[in-house]
Amino acid sequence: MRMARDEPELERNAVRYTTKPLPPYRYLPGLHPHPVANPHGHSHGAPDEPCPAWDAEEWRTLDDWLYGVDLCNHHYYWESHEAWEGLWLVVPRRSVPHRFLQGMIKLSAALLKVRLAMLTKKDIAGAQSLAPAGLELLASVGRDQYMGLALEKHIETMREYFAPLATGELPDIRACPLILPDD
Protein backbone atom coordinates (compact mmCIF):
# COMPACT_ATOMS: atom_id res chain seq x y z
CA MET A 1 0.00 0.00 0.00
CA ARG A 2 1.55 3.29 -1.14
CA MET A 3 1.12 6.20 1.21
CA ALA A 4 1.76 9.91 0.66
CA ARG A 5 5.22 9.76 2.18
CA ASP A 6 6.02 6.90 -0.25
CA GLU A 7 5.08 8.94 -3.33
CA PRO A 8 7.98 11.31 -4.00
CA GLU A 9 6.80 11.68 -7.60
CA LEU A 10 3.78 13.60 -6.28
CA GLU A 11 5.64 15.95 -4.00
CA ARG A 12 5.75 19.52 -5.20
CA ASN A 13 6.64 22.85 -3.78
CA ALA A 14 3.16 24.39 -3.95
CA VAL A 15 2.26 27.42 -1.88
CA ARG A 16 0.27 26.51 1.23
CA TYR A 17 -2.75 28.61 2.17
CA THR A 18 -3.26 27.07 5.63
CA THR A 19 -1.05 25.65 8.34
CA LYS A 20 -3.26 22.61 8.87
CA PRO A 21 -1.14 19.47 8.36
CA LEU A 22 -1.67 17.29 5.33
CA PRO A 23 -2.93 13.75 6.07
CA PRO A 24 -0.39 10.93 6.34
CA TYR A 25 -1.63 9.34 3.08
CA ARG A 26 -3.58 10.20 -0.05
CA TYR A 27 -6.70 8.09 0.02
CA LEU A 28 -7.29 5.93 -3.03
CA PRO A 29 -10.42 3.73 -2.87
CA GLY A 30 -9.59 0.06 -2.74
CA LEU A 31 -5.92 0.69 -1.96
CA HIS A 32 -5.97 2.46 1.42
CA PRO A 33 -8.09 2.35 4.56
CA HIS A 34 -11.13 4.59 4.14
CA PRO A 35 -10.16 7.79 6.00
CA VAL A 36 -13.37 8.01 8.04
CA ALA A 37 -15.07 4.60 8.04
CA ASN A 38 -12.01 2.44 8.73
CA PRO A 39 -10.54 2.50 12.27
CA HIS A 40 -7.10 2.81 10.63
CA GLY A 41 -8.21 5.72 8.45
CA HIS A 42 -6.38 9.02 8.77
CA SER A 43 -9.55 10.87 9.83
CA HIS A 44 -11.34 8.14 11.76
CA GLY A 45 -12.93 9.53 14.90
CA ALA A 46 -12.30 13.15 13.92
CA PRO A 47 -15.19 15.39 14.94
CA ASP A 48 -17.62 16.12 12.12
CA GLU A 49 -18.58 19.70 12.87
CA PRO A 50 -21.23 21.34 10.69
CA CYS A 51 -20.05 24.24 8.60
CA PRO A 52 -21.50 27.62 9.55
CA ALA A 53 -22.98 29.94 6.93
CA TRP A 54 -20.29 31.67 4.89
CA ASP A 55 -19.79 34.39 2.31
CA ALA A 56 -17.71 33.90 -0.84
CA GLU A 57 -16.34 37.44 -0.48
CA GLU A 58 -14.63 36.29 2.73
CA TRP A 59 -12.74 33.46 1.00
CA ARG A 60 -9.39 34.60 2.48
CA THR A 61 -10.60 33.56 5.94
CA LEU A 62 -12.54 30.48 4.86
CA ASP A 63 -10.36 27.70 6.23
CA ASP A 64 -12.27 24.81 4.62
CA TRP A 65 -11.94 26.41 1.17
CA LEU A 66 -8.24 27.13 1.59
CA TYR A 67 -7.47 23.76 3.15
CA GLY A 68 -9.26 22.08 0.23
CA VAL A 69 -7.01 24.07 -2.11
CA ASP A 70 -3.93 22.89 -0.18
CA LEU A 71 -5.13 19.30 -0.32
CA CYS A 72 -5.93 19.36 -4.03
CA ASN A 73 -2.64 21.09 -4.90
CA HIS A 74 -0.78 18.32 -3.07
CA HIS A 75 -2.72 15.49 -4.79
CA TYR A 76 -5.08 14.72 -1.86
CA TYR A 77 -8.10 14.61 -4.14
CA TRP A 78 -10.56 12.68 -1.98
CA GLU A 79 -9.62 14.81 1.00
CA SER A 80 -10.09 18.09 -0.91
CA HIS A 81 -13.57 16.95 -1.90
CA GLU A 82 -14.34 16.34 1.77
CA ALA A 83 -13.02 19.77 2.82
CA TRP A 84 -15.24 21.52 0.24
CA GLU A 85 -18.33 19.38 0.71
CA GLY A 86 -19.21 20.92 4.08
CA LEU A 87 -19.17 24.38 2.49
CA TRP A 88 -21.21 23.15 -0.46
CA LEU A 89 -23.91 21.62 1.75
CA VAL A 90 -24.75 24.87 3.57
CA VAL A 91 -25.32 27.14 0.56
CA PRO A 92 -28.59 27.31 -1.40
CA ARG A 93 -28.86 24.74 -4.18
CA ARG A 94 -28.07 26.03 -7.65
CA SER A 95 -26.64 29.27 -6.23
CA VAL A 96 -23.31 30.57 -7.55
CA PRO A 97 -21.31 29.25 -4.57
CA HIS A 98 -23.10 25.90 -4.83
CA ARG A 99 -22.27 25.52 -8.54
CA PHE A 100 -18.71 26.71 -8.01
CA LEU A 101 -17.98 24.24 -5.21
CA GLN A 102 -19.77 21.42 -7.01
CA GLY A 103 -17.57 22.12 -10.03
CA MET A 104 -14.41 22.08 -7.90
CA ILE A 105 -15.55 18.86 -6.21
CA LYS A 106 -16.21 17.18 -9.57
CA LEU A 107 -12.79 18.23 -10.88
CA SER A 108 -11.18 16.86 -7.74
CA ALA A 109 -13.10 13.61 -8.20
CA ALA A 110 -11.95 13.47 -11.85
CA LEU A 111 -8.36 13.89 -10.67
CA LEU A 112 -8.87 11.08 -8.17
CA LYS A 113 -10.15 8.85 -11.00
CA VAL A 114 -7.09 9.74 -13.12
CA ARG A 115 -4.76 8.92 -10.23
CA LEU A 116 -6.53 5.64 -9.54
CA ALA A 117 -6.47 4.68 -13.23
CA MET A 118 -2.72 5.40 -13.36
CA LEU A 119 -2.03 3.02 -10.49
CA THR A 120 -4.54 0.27 -11.14
CA LYS A 121 -5.16 0.46 -14.91
CA LYS A 122 -8.85 0.91 -14.17
CA ASP A 123 -11.33 2.35 -16.62
CA ILE A 124 -11.13 6.12 -17.06
CA ALA A 125 -14.85 6.56 -17.76
CA GLY A 126 -15.37 8.28 -14.40
CA ALA A 127 -12.75 10.91 -15.19
CA GLN A 128 -14.14 11.30 -18.70
CA SER A 129 -17.58 12.24 -17.35
CA LEU A 130 -16.59 14.12 -14.18
CA ALA A 131 -14.08 16.51 -15.79
CA PRO A 132 -16.45 18.04 -18.38
CA ALA A 133 -19.27 18.20 -15.82
CA GLY A 134 -17.01 20.06 -13.37
CA LEU A 135 -15.80 22.46 -16.05
CA GLU A 136 -19.38 23.17 -17.13
CA LEU A 137 -20.38 23.98 -13.55
CA LEU A 138 -17.43 26.33 -13.13
CA ALA A 139 -18.27 28.05 -16.42
CA SER A 140 -21.86 28.51 -15.21
CA VAL A 141 -20.57 30.77 -12.42
CA GLY A 142 -20.14 33.39 -15.13
CA ARG A 143 -17.46 35.44 -13.43
CA ASP A 144 -13.83 36.22 -14.17
CA GLN A 145 -12.82 35.93 -10.52
CA TYR A 146 -14.47 33.86 -7.82
CA MET A 147 -13.22 32.97 -4.33
CA GLY A 148 -9.83 34.32 -5.29
CA LEU A 149 -9.55 32.16 -8.37
CA ALA A 150 -9.03 33.58 -11.87
CA LEU A 151 -11.89 31.40 -12.99
CA GLU A 152 -11.72 31.70 -16.77
CA LYS A 153 -7.99 31.01 -16.73
CA HIS A 154 -8.45 28.06 -14.35
CA ILE A 155 -11.18 26.58 -16.56
CA GLU A 156 -9.01 26.87 -19.67
CA THR A 157 -5.97 25.39 -17.92
CA MET A 158 -8.01 22.46 -16.59
CA ARG A 159 -9.68 21.93 -19.98
CA GLU A 160 -6.22 21.63 -21.58
CA TYR A 161 -5.04 19.33 -18.80
CA PHE A 162 -8.01 16.96 -19.20
CA ALA A 163 -7.94 17.03 -23.05
CA PRO A 164 -6.19 13.61 -23.36
CA LEU A 165 -9.26 11.95 -21.78
CA ALA A 166 -11.22 12.63 -24.99
CA THR A 167 -9.00 10.14 -26.82
CA GLY A 168 -8.86 7.61 -23.99
CA GLU A 169 -5.47 8.74 -22.72
CA LEU A 170 -4.60 9.70 -19.16
CA PRO A 171 -3.12 13.11 -18.41
CA ASP A 172 0.03 13.08 -16.26
CA ILE A 173 -1.15 13.55 -12.67
CA ARG A 174 2.19 15.13 -11.76
CA ALA A 175 1.41 17.94 -14.21
CA CYS A 176 -2.02 18.68 -12.77
CA PRO A 177 -2.44 22.48 -12.66
CA LEU A 178 -2.43 24.17 -9.29
CA ILE A 179 -5.39 26.04 -7.86
CA LEU A 180 -4.02 29.52 -7.22
CA PRO A 181 -6.38 31.76 -5.27
CA ASP A 182 -5.18 35.32 -5.36
CA ASP A 183 -6.84 38.67 -5.62
Window from 50-59, 136-145, 162-171 with minimum mean pLDDT: 50-59
Q: What is the pLDDT of residue 91?
A: 96
Q: What is the pLDDT of residue 2?
A: 55
pTM for this one? 0.93
Share of the chain above pLDDT 70, in %: 96
Mean pLDDT of the chain: 91
Q: What is the pLDDT of residue 175?
A: 93
Query: Mind listing the pLDDT tens digit for each residue in 3-60?
Result: 655 688 888 889 999 999 999 989 988 888 887 888 887 888 887 778 888 999 999 9
Residue predicted with more confidence, 120 or 78: 78
Domains of the chain: 58-178 (1.10.3450.10)
Measure Cα distances from 141 to 7, 81, 122, 180 in Å.
Answer: 35, 19, 32, 17
Q: What is the pLDDT of residue 46?
A: 84
Residue 138 has pLDDT above 60, yes or no: yes
Q: What is the pLDDT of residue 49?
A: 79
Distance, CA of 120 to CA of 53 (rounded, Å): 39
Mean pLDDT of 164-171: 95
Q: What is the pLDDT of residue 3?
A: 60
